Chains A and B, each alone.
Chain A
Amino acid sequence: MIKYSSQFFSNNILKLFLSSLIICISSICFGAGEKINYPQLNWSFSGILGTFDRASQQRGLQVYKEVCSGCHGMRLLAYRNLKAIGYNEDEIKAFASENSVNTINDDGEVVERPARPSDKFVSPYPNDKAARAANGGAYPPDLSLIVKARPDGANYLHALLTGYIDAPSDLKVPDGMYYNKYYSGNLIGMPQPLYDDGVEYADGTKATPDQMAKDVTAFLAWASEPEMEDRKSLGVSVMLFLLLLTALSYFAMKQIWAPIKKQ
């Protein structure tokens, strides 16, 4: 009798367990309904074997330099790092020297000198307060880590840069704010940065806002994770080694245990 009741009990509990598991999983899948969905693009650097597209990155650097760098700094990046996206030393030197940095000379005076490849990217504002003051109180974030610092960063960035549309007629957009369908809350302090032919690409690529957004995202994705290509290629070797080690240790284990299992 006891056995029967425990059997009955266990079947019901099992059903309860399974059904609650299904409810829980489905709520994980569908629960986050209010999230803004960004268009999912096929980035060359996504996937476990993905690499950066050099041409796109270089165009992206141009977009950053000509459009973004007016307000956004990239303080964690050094000019020398640009070697990784295909520039040679002379090009980097020339690129760096367009900016100037403060230094203290032998007489103890603050003087300006042209930036060198070893310098970090020069930020557009001397400090955060100056940046806020120049942008109506909104702080233009540093872009060094922007792709890593946002969920689904690359798609988010591309969406944001191309997401400027006319505000709904019933919404009054305050002065100094702009309407963006992908920004959380829709009101953003950054005016639309990308317009057709906003930059002139040297390689003849048509500079549409979509193209520029893709290029600058490719550049910023690299800036966030400059180690990505090294990481993935080393990862492939490590995985192959571990696969071999797993197979060898498995068969060694089977062989060693064979006499015990036979007993």
Chain B
Amino acid sequence: MSKSKFKNPVVKWIDHRLPVFSFMDHELNHYPTPKNLNYFWNFGSLAGFALVTMIVTGIVLSMNYTAHVDYAFDSVERIMRDVNHGWLIRYIHMNGASFFFIVVYIHIFRGLYYGSYKAPRELLWILGVLILLLMMATAFMGYVLPWGQMSFWGATVITNLFSAIPLVGESIVTWLWGGFSVDNSTLNRFFSLHFVLPFVIVGVVILHLIALHRFGSNNPIGIDVKGTQDTVPFSPYYTIKDLFGLSVFLSFFAAAVFFFPNFMGHPDNYIEANPMVTPAHIVPEWYFLPFYAILRAIPDKLGGVLFMFGAIAVLFVLPWLDRSSVRSSQFRPIYKIFFWILLFDCILLGYLGAMPAEGIYVILSRIATAYYFFHFLILFPLLPYIEKTKPLPISISEPILGGAATASAFATREKK
């Protein structure tokens, strides 16, 4: 047996029988990580932090929440008014959902820009898309729980989408509701699922991390790590960088929680759910707006539903849609431009999702939807045949070593 790397006798004893400490030492301490990662690589750990925050605050909230149509709204207000620091816990949870999506969307666009989904990281990417899908389901059901007007009408609109399925649609909706309208049984099952799905997300996140640690992180240049000269141990280099990133993230998060807690919410959700009064505009939470715009852009109900789910489905097969072997956009001059167009397209869709479905907004929604699918289904497979990529560096160390000339020049200038 090799000599244990741990000095503490208790740790040594346990590790010999149950090598959890060796595992953590290997995966969190020595884990070799490319040394050229930029700040966009902070968002993975931030997403993990957001998930834990949501679970912890959510468990505390559930201790004070009542999942019943007659009491849900008032029980949330009791948390806001009478539970000690209940307003803090609830505002963290409420804004935490938005910040979780902000972080995850940046994480996804990072992956798109630097080609992080390409071989051999296809499963890593697919697990990530699965996490996004689970997050969306969880967030949607969580928004129903306060039982405000938007909760109720959002739930009605979204569950009704399933009625578009031919033949069995209506039965499926009744089955989802547990009755003939969104009512107490719907609220109860949404609470139950909203509680359990985050733990399913944790499970998929663990798989996501196992897949990540198989080949390690991608990097801004997108070429494989050639040896130890290209990497640094995760700790202390990326633990401290993640801590810095976390501090910046928390500063934005805290600013929202303490000073603008309702900025990302809808005022109507402070009106108790009323099945007899329909709000003028039913809008989902901001993070669903691009998908909502796609749904409404298609004149056919079933078509709209299919395109909306299709917008996520194309992400699952993206590793095979993109035929280019070059990962990073830095070396793909044309794709780089289309990346920014896609980002703009998604923001435009989000804006259109918040607007009423009439006039120019419908036309723009259709153009933006068409572009979204054009980008994934036509551009990704065909672009590599047209695009001339730039030459790739030999290794990660090379551009850094290349930069050493300027670095030393800088050093000499400083000496003067």
If A232-B259, A242-B254 touch, does A149 touch B81 (CB 8 Å cutoff)?
no
User: A36 → chain B, closest Cβ, in Å?
Assistant: 13
If A10-B337, A231-B258, A253-B241 touch, does A20 touch B388 (CB 8 Å cutoff)?
no
**In the complex, what residue of chain A is closest to B229 when comparing beta carbons?**
A263
B344 touches A21 (CB 8 A): yes
Please tell me if B243 contacts chain A, counting CB pairs below 8 Å. Answer: yes
Which of these, B74, B258, B341, B347, contacts A239 with CB under 8 Å? Answer: B258
Which of these, B240, B261, B267, B348, contacts A256 with CB under 8 Å? Answer: B240
**In the complex, what residue of chain A is closest to B348 when comparing beta carbons?**
A24
B74 touches A76 (CB 8 A): yes
Please tell me if B120 contacts chain A, counting CB pairs below 8 Å. Answer: no
Please tell me if B264 contacts chain A, counting CB pairs below 8 Å. Answer: no
User: A72 → chain B, closest Cβ, in Å?
Assistant: 14
A76 touches B344 (CB 8 A): no
Which residues of the other chain, A, contact B77 by a CB distance below 8 angstroms? 76, 144-145
A262-B258 Cα distance, complex, nearest whole Å: 41
B225-240, CB < 8 A from A: 232, 236-237, 240
If A235-B259, A256-B237, A263-B404 touch, does A242 touch B268 (CB 8 Å cutoff)?
no
A239 touches B251 (CB 8 A): yes
Please tell me if B177 contacts chain A, counting CB pairs below 8 Å. Answer: no
A256 touches B236 (CB 8 A): yes
Number of A residues near B (Cβ < 8 Å) is 49
Which of these, B80, B244, B267, contacts A253 with CB under 8 Å? Answer: B244
Fill in one digit per residue for A247-263: 1 if any B CB lies within 8 Å of its CB, else 0. Answer: 00110110011001111
A76-B75 Cα distance, complex, nearest whole Å: 10
A148 touches B81 (CB 8 A): no
Please tell me if B59 contacts chain A, counting CB pairs below 8 Å. Answer: no
Please tell me if B107 contacts chain A, counting CB pairs below 8 Å. Answer: no
A20-B340 Cα distance, complex, nearest whole Å: 12
Fill in one digit per residue for B335-363: 1 if any A CB lies within 8 Å of its CB, else 0. Answer: 00110110010011001000100000000
Which residues of the other chain, A, contact B243 by a CB distance below 8 angstroms? 249, 252-253
Please tell me if A30 contacts chain B, counting CB pairs below 8 Å. Answer: no
Which of these, B261, B267, B347, contacts A150 with CB under 8 Å? Answer: B267
Please tell me if A13 contacts chain B, counting CB pairs below 8 Å. Answer: yes
Fill in one digit per residue for B304-344: 1 if any A CB lies within 8 Å of its CB, else 0. Answer: 00000000000000000000000000000110011011001
A13 touches B341 (CB 8 A): yes
Fill in one digit per residue for A18-60: 1 if any B CB lies within 8 Å of its CB, else 0. Answer: 0011001000100100000000000000001000000000000
A6 touches B333 (CB 8 A): yes
Please tell me if A3 contacts chain B, counting CB pairs below 8 Å. Answer: yes
Which residues of the other chain, A, contact B80 by a CB distance below 8 angstroms? 227
**In the complex, what residue of chain B is closest to A149 when comparing beta carbons?**
B270
User: B40 → chain A, closest Cβ, in Å?
Assistant: 16
What size tier do the contact residues of chain B reach?
Answer: 35 or more
A3-B334 Cα distance, complex, nearest whole Å: 10
Which of these, A6, A14, A148, A243, contacts B262 with CB under 8 Å? Answer: A148
User: B91 → chain A, closest Cβ, in Å?
Assistant: 8
A146-B236 Cα distance, complex, nearest whole Å: 51
B261 touches A231 (CB 8 A): yes
A260 touches B237 (CB 8 A): yes
Which residues of the other chain, A, contact B157 by a CB distance below 8 angstroms? none
Please tell me if A151 contacts chain B, counting CB pairs below 8 Å. Answer: yes
User: A41 → chain B, closest Cβ, in Å?
Assistant: 18
A242 touches B247 (CB 8 A): yes
A17 touches B344 (CB 8 A): yes
B81-109, CB < 8 A from A: 81, 87-88, 91
Please tell me if B18 contacts chain A, counting CB pairs below 8 Å. Answer: no
B387 touches A227 (CB 8 A): no
User: A77 → chain B, closest Cβ, in Å?
Assistant: 8
A179-227, CB < 8 A from B: 224, 226-227
Which residues of the other chain, A, contact B401 by a CB distance below 8 angstroms? 263
A7-B267 Cα distance, complex, nearest whole Å: 48
If A151-B267, A256-B240, A263-B404 touch, does A226 touch B81 (CB 8 Å cutoff)?
yes
User: B238 → chain A, closest Cβ, in Å?
Assistant: 10
Which of these, A6, A81, A235, contacts B258 with CB under 8 Å? Answer: A235
Please tell me if A111 contacts chain B, counting CB pairs below 8 Å. Answer: no
If A48-B259, A246-B247 touch, does A239 touch B254 (CB 8 Å cutoff)?
yes
Which of these, A148, A243, A257, contacts B251 with CB under 8 Å? Answer: A243
A123-142, CB < 8 A from B: 141
A and B contact pairs by CB, cutoff 8 A, 22 listed: A10-B334, A13-B337, A24-B347, A76-B77, A149-B267, A150-B267, A230-B87, A231-B87, A234-B258, A238-B254, A238-B258, A239-B255, A239-B258, A245-B247, A245-B250, A246-B247, A246-B248, A249-B243, A249-B247, A250-B247, A262-B407, A263-B401
Please list the residues of chain A having a beta carbon within 8 angstroms of any beta carbon in chain B.
Answer: 2-3, 6, 9-10, 13-14, 17, 20-21, 24, 28, 31, 48, 76, 81, 141, 144-145, 148-151, 153, 224, 226-227, 230-232, 234-236, 238-239, 242-243, 245-246, 249-250, 252-253, 256-257, 260-263
5 further contact pairs, Cβ within 8 A, besides A13-B337, A253-B241? A28-B351, A226-B81, A236-B258, A252-B244, A256-B236
List 9 A-B pairs, minimum CB-CB distance, nearest first.
A235-B258, A149-B270, A246-B247, A249-B244, A227-B87, A145-B270, A242-B251, A148-B270, A48-B259
